[in-house]
Amino acid sequence: MTVLIASDLDRTLIYSRAARALAGEPTGPLRCVETRDGVAVSHLTDAAAGLLQALPPWAHLVAFTTRTPEQLARVRLPGRPARFAVAANGGRLLVDGVPDAEWSARVARELADACSLAEVQAELELRCHPDWTLAVRGAAGLFCYAVLDRERTPRGFVADVDEWLVARGWTSSLQGRKLYAVPSPLTKSAALAEVARRLDASLVLGAGDSLLDVDLLAACDLGIHPGHGEIAASGWSAEHVHSTGSFGAQAGEDICRWFHETAIMAR
């Protein structure tokens, strides 16, 4: 039996200081899994790290993230090195750290008829006032995002942007300070099917916290999401997906425990 564990990273498995504050700083020790310019950026609990290191050999943990490949390369999860990783919300399939050219070409074909990134990014830059926007950036040549000052962002701004995007075949997701604008055909679930095929997986487990993870969870055999995040706030549910009921880094630890226990029972 081969178990594929498809997991989002930020605010699902790993947590910045701001994300850890969702439920207060955890009382136990933390393990750093990402540094930037020599500064520790993201962590998980020591207990979560131990659970990932103890995953059985038939369980393959694969990151499914909205991060670009360059941002993903900064993360070092505990446990066995993964052959596969999925970045850019399904737009890049990495094999041994290298983007798979065939997959990238397939994604380009599927996005050919969508509203262009240039048009969407220009509109986002026009709408995002400097008084409450720290930056607007493109990502992997596939989508873009705005870094917002949430306290100063006008009420209704996110809903207005989402309405404009939906009318053009795109979607939005607000994750912490970042408002993502992503083409609707760009999904984690499509990449999930490809990774599952390559691994010949007989069971697929999934985890995620944002609306961009809904299609991933829907495509898994079993899924889990933390008690915080867009999914929890939206009220979305499915019979095969449950919530940790916990928040912050504790939720990440509970997700790792569920991965470990479910993979063991599956055997």
Residues 193 and 100 in one domain: yes
Q: Domain of 168: which CATH number? A: 3.30.1360
On whether the CB atoms of residues 88 and 66 are closer than 8 A, the answer is: yes
Q: Write down which residue in 141, 166, 183 finishes a domain.
A: 183
Task: Please report the pLDDT score of residue 25 as a whole number.
Answer: 65
Residue 141, sorted as left (phi over 0), alpha (psi -120 to 50) or beta, turns out to be left
Average pLDDT over every residue of 252-264: 97
Q: Which domain holds residue 170?
A: 117-183
Question: Is 147 found in the same domain as 26?
Answer: no
Q: Do 151 and 197 belong to one domain?
A: no
pLDDT at 27: 67
Q: Could you say which of 163, 183, 203 is where a domain stops? A: 183
Q: Which two structure tokens, joined as six digits, stand for 243? A: 């919530």
Distance CA 242, CA 24 (A): 23
pLDDT per position as a tens digit, 90-147: 999 999 999 999 999 999 999 999 999 999 999 999 999 999 999 999 999 999 999 9
Contacts of 93 (CB under 8 A, 6+ apart): 84, 85, 86, 99, 100, 103, 104, 191, 194, 195
Q: How many domains does the chain have?
A: 2
On whether both 157 and 243 belong to a single domain, the answer is: no
Ramachandran area for residue 7 (φ above 0: left; ψ -120 to 50: alpha; else beta): beta
Task: Identify whether residues 179 and 121 lie together within a single domain.
Answer: yes
Taking CB atoms within 8 Å and a gap of at least 24, the contacts of 257-262 are 257/47, 257/48, 257/51, 258/207, 258/224, 259/5, 259/7, 259/51, 259/52, 259/55, 259/59, 259/61, 259/205, 259/207, 260/51, 260/52, 260/54, 260/55, 262/3, 262/205, 262/222
Rg value, the chain, Cα: 18
pTM of this prediction? 0.93
Q: Is the pLDDT of residue 21 over 90?
A: no
Same domain, 20 and 99: yes
pLDDT for residue 212 is more than 70: yes
134, 226: one domain: no
pLDDT reading at 24 higher than 70:
no
